[in-house]
């Protein structure tokens, strides 16, 4: 090894990797951009007062999200291992069970996929409904009945979820560079193109400005503890952090990848997609006199009615749901990769077997989410259906906790010399200042913020 080669302490011959800087960007952005931008961001913004919510979300993204994303990618690349082994390897002689971060991450990935694949299933179903015109009506009562018809029919709900599960499992089996990288590299540009088209349509409607006002002028009276926790949970969910996704993807990064630069680009591009999704949705919602605060059903009840109200609506509705399906696919690949990498590297299953085992388990756990509006509608845990419970527990609990412990590990157990070496690629990059700032944030700022918001949002401390 010559002196100007990056001196990564662990090299793993035969382990798959992303093949180019662009590939890293496509896969990582593909993970970040997802139903979080198209389904969660608009519906949460709509239900929690618009711009003020976005502002808290932005602050969480900058002070917590970005540093945690960088921290995760950096430790993943250092260890070049799955989420559990990464923590094990790097903790070295430190006896504390840091690997639990990876194990909890696997659990979180499962629970997220359990409800995410169901929503993705609805999105896929809506592409076909848009094509046949079946979901189009200007009357929200009609679109609402159409949506209930889909979710309360156990056969359809399960069928669409399984279609989605089989699709993502097939791509995962193809591998990291030949599956994930190849697919996301093709799909991401299409997603951006479609999104811009739908935005132009929405902005050129009469009365679009009211929606923009809603998106950009804040009303701070809506900001309570739980709302702030929700905004922070969304920041974690959006950036795919707090559960090992970015650790796992980081382990496939190239040695010469500039991690802070990559993560910042992904964060900004992801934000752009969220704002564009807001711009695609809210001006149109207001232009046709609908309410923005429909919550999770915004996408499937309000949006079809909005599209039905506009000229060429059917075409734009097809485009919109295709772009949502693309977004969901890249995100699900990154979620599925976490348990698959663990089964593959910890337990020695082949990639194919690991993917099929995960598929089987997911079909089982996921079906409880799929049946939450039909067979299991009355089955409540803590007052929530399995679907809502998986969503709440992961976003508002597991992800913030995972992020908190990643910060504690990097800031307090791993330490500055390692962080500097990891972020400057062993001195190859002039990143030392940025590395310092990120180290300071992960050591002192992010963990304190996460803890306060978590405790306050759960009602454990009040102020």
Residue tagged 């009469």 (tokens): 206
Q: Does 245 help bind ligand TRP (rule: CB under 6 A)?
A: yes
> Three-state DSSP class for 457?
helix
Site string for ligand TRP, 349-388 (x = CB under 6 A): ----------------------------------------
In the bound state with ligand TRP, the residue whose beta carbon lies nearer, of 309 and 334, is 334
Nearest to 279 by CA among 196, 176, 399, 342: 196
Q: Is 117 near ligand TRP (CB under 6 A)?
A: no
405 binds ligand TRP (CB under 6 A): no
Segment lying near ligand TRP (by CB under 6 A), choices 52-60, 159-167, 192-200, 328-336 = 328-336
Are the beta carbons of 302 and 104 closer than 8 angstroms?
no
Q: Interface with ligand TRP by CB under 6 A: which range of 155-163, 169-177, 235-243, 277-285?
A: 235-243
For ligand TRP, what does the binding mask look like between residues 11 and 40, x meaning CB under 6 A?
--------------------xx-xxxx---
The window from 57-65, 155-163, 331-339, 403-411 that contacts ligand TRP (CB under 6 A) reads: 331-339
Instruction: Pick the binder of ligand TRP from 335, 398, 404, 422 (CB under 6 A).
Output: 335
Give the other-Cβ count within 10 Å of 319's Cβ: 19
Interatomic CA distance for residues 150 and 234, integer angstroms: 27
237 vs 252 by CB, closer to ligand TRP: 237
Which residue among 243, 308, 355, 401 contacts ligand TRP (CB under 6 A)? 243
User: If 0-12 CB within 10 Å is exposed, 13-18 middle and 19+ buried, where does residue 103 land?
Assistant: middle
The minimum distance between CB 330 and ligand TRP, in angstroms, equals 8
Q: How far is the CB of 38 from ligand TRP (least distance, A)?
A: 8
Which letter does DSSP use for residue 243 in this model? Answer: S
400 binds ligand TRP (CB under 6 A): no
CB-side neighbour CA atoms (13 Å) of 84: 17
Is position 237 an interface residue for ligand TRP (rule: CB under 6 A)? yes
Which of 230, 211, 266 is closest to 34 using CA atoms?
Answer: 266
From the CB of residue 126, how many other CB atoms can be counted at a distance below 10 Å?
A: 27
Q: Are residues 351 and 15 in contact, defined by beta-carbon separation less than 8 angstroms?
A: no
List Cα–Cα distances, 269 to 37, 182, 193, 294, 435, in angstroms. 11, 19, 13, 26, 22
Residues making contact with ligand TRP (CB under 6 A): 31-32, 34-37, 112, 237-238, 240, 243, 245, 331, 334-335, 399
């Amino acid at each position: 090894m010559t002196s100007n080669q990056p001196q990564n302490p662990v090299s793993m011959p035969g382990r798959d990797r992303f093949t180019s800087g662009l590939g890293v960007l496509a896969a990582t952005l593909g993970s970040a951009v997802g139903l979080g931008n198209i389904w969660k961001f608009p519906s949460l913004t709509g239900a929690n007062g618009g711009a003020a919510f976005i502002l808290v979300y932005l602050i969480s993204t900058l002070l917590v999200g970005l540093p945690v994303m960088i921290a995760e990618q950096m430790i993943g690349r250092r260890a070049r291992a799955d989420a559990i082994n990464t923590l094990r390897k790097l903790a070295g002689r430190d006896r504390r069970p840091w690997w639990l971060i990876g194990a909890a991450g696997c659990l979180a990935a499962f629970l997220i996929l359990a409800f995410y694949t169901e929503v993705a299933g609805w999105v896929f179903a809506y592409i076909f409904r848009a094509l046949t015109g079946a979901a189009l009506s200007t009357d929200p009562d009609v679109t609402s009945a159409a949506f209930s018809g889909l979710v309360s029919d156990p056969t359809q709900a399960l069928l669409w979820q399984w279609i989605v599960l089989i699709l993502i499992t097939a791509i995962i089996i193809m591998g990291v560079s030949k599956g994930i990288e190849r697919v996301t590299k093709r799909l991401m540009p299409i997603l951006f193109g479609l999104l811009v088209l739908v935005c132009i349509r929405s902005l050129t409607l009469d009365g679009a400005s009211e929606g923009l006002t809603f998106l950009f002028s804040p009303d701070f009276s809506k900001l309570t503890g739980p709302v702030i926790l929700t905004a922070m949970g969304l920041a974690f969910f959006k950036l795919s952090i707090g559960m090992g996704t970015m650790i796992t993807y980081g382990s496939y990064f190239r040695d010469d990848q500039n991690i802070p630069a990559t993560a910042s680009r992904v964060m900004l591009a992801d934000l752009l997609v969220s704002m564009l999704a807001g711009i695609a949705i809210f001006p149109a919602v207001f232009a046709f006199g609908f309410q923005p605060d429909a919550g999770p059903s915004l996408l499937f009840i309000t949006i079809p009615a909005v599209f039905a109200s506009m000229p060429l609506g059917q075409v734009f509705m097809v485009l919109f749901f295709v772009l949502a399906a693309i977004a969901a696919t890249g995100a699900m690949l990154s979620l599925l990769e976490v348990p698959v990498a663990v089964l593959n590297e910890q337990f020695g299953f082949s990639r194919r077997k690991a993917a099929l085992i995960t598929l089987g388990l997911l079909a089982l756990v996921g079906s409880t989410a799929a049946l939450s509006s039909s067979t299991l509608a009355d089955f409540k845990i803590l007052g929530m259906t399995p679907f809502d419970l998986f969503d709440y527990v992961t976003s508002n609990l597991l992800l913030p906790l995972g992020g908190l412990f990643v910060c504690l590990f990097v800031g307090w157990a791993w330490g500055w010399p390692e962080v500097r070496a990891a972020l400057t690629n062993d001195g190859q990059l002039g990143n030392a200042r940025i590395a310092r700032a990120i180290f300071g944030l992960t050591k002192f700022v992010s963990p304190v913020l996460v803890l306060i918001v978590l405790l306050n949002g759960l009602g454990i401390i009040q102020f």
